[in-house]
Amino acid sequence: MTVKEETAALPPYSVLITVYDKELPENLNDSLESMLMQSYPPTELILVCDGRLTCELNIIAKSFESEYKKMLKVIRIDEHVGAAAAINEGIKECTCPFIVRMDSDDVSYPDRCLKQMKLFAERPDLDMVGTFAEVYDITEGKTVGVKHMPTSNKKIKRYARRRNPFCRQTLAFRRELAIEVGGYAELEECEDYEFAVRMLSAGAKARNIPEALVRYRVSEEDYRKRKSWKATKNFIAVRKLNRRNGSCSMLDVMIPSAVQLGLCVLPWRVTKKFYCRMRKNGEKHTKSAKAQ
């Protein structure tokens, strides 16, 4: 069977990427290229520029816009509005039934979207499909692990009580339901987690493909940000919001909040070790589940 025959029955999809002026040009270039060169290409790619970009980023955006005139649409927002508001602007511009999210500094492997759209085609009841993600440490210059996530709808809903059940840069979702629930809440951080919980609470059915189909970059700065007081306040605030929405219990708020407060006061290297340990535990859990 040829690729054309294999993809004939698959649904069309839109890719949605947001970028702002702190991004490195080479990262944006790699991200755009990886999505436009998918084995099952998108019908359209919506690039939302969140505020004025640097000259280098503008050159990248205009270059791709010129080369992929029929596929790529650049949306420019004059002032920096934040990730959630920029994503919502992008959702409005998307025309396909499914939207594939992507971060401007990560890379998708060639068959990512093919596998996600095949699952949507095979399972019409699904509204959200994510994947595992390969973690690339830019400081060490190597892959340091794979982020494993729960795969079944039941496990995803249980996991979502305390943590995001999706790697945000791997998520594909049904556009109609996303609009129905009001899109992304305009929060400073954790907007992707809050969105996932609200979608699941609205009855969304979900799966995670047990393959690392996206490579995402991490650095020392990322670990420092995760332990900051600002990140900690936002972390707790979103869990309280989920509690008020009836998506979790008070215990589900207290336990992860206590862990986050502990990480906030400890050195960033402890935070890094904590997340590395979580990845290893996720890998062990997945291997154990497959063996059963």
pLDDT of residue 291: 45
Mean pLDDT of 107-129: 97
Residue 160 in this model has a pLDDT that exceeds 90: yes
Average pLDDT, the chain: 89
Residue 288 in this model has a pLDDT that exceeds 90: no
Looking at the chain, which runs of residues are DSSP E strands?
13-19, 44-50, 72-77, 98-103, 107-108, 128-137, 142-147, 172-174, 206-218
pLDDT in tens, 60-93: 999 999 999 999 999 999 999 999 999 999 999 9
Mean pLDDT of 159-183: 96
Residue 3 in this model has a pLDDT that exceeds 80: no
The domain ranges of the chain are 3-291
Q: Which of 156-170, 190-204, 265-279 has the lowest mean pLDDT?
A: 265-279
* DSSP string of 112-179, one letter each residue: HHHHHHHHHHH-TT--EEEEEEEEEETTTTEEEEEE----SHHHHHHHTTTS-SS-GGG-EEEHHHHH
Whose CA is closest to 164, among 119, 195, 202, 123? 195
Residue 183 in this model has a pLDDT that exceeds 50: yes
Residue 280 in this model has a pLDDT that exceeds 80: no
- 3-291 topology per CATH: Spore Coat Polysaccharide Biosynthesis Protein SpsA; Chain A (3.90.550)
pTM over 0.75: yes
pLDDT in tens, 199-253: 999 999 999 999 999 999 987 777 677 767 887 888 888 888 888 888 888 998 8
- Facing residues of 145 across strands? 135
Q: Which of 106-115, 195-204, 230-239, 265-274 has the lowest mean pLDDT?
A: 265-274
pLDDT in tens, 9-66: 899 999 999 999 999 999 999 999 999 999 999 999 999 999 999 999 999 999 999 9
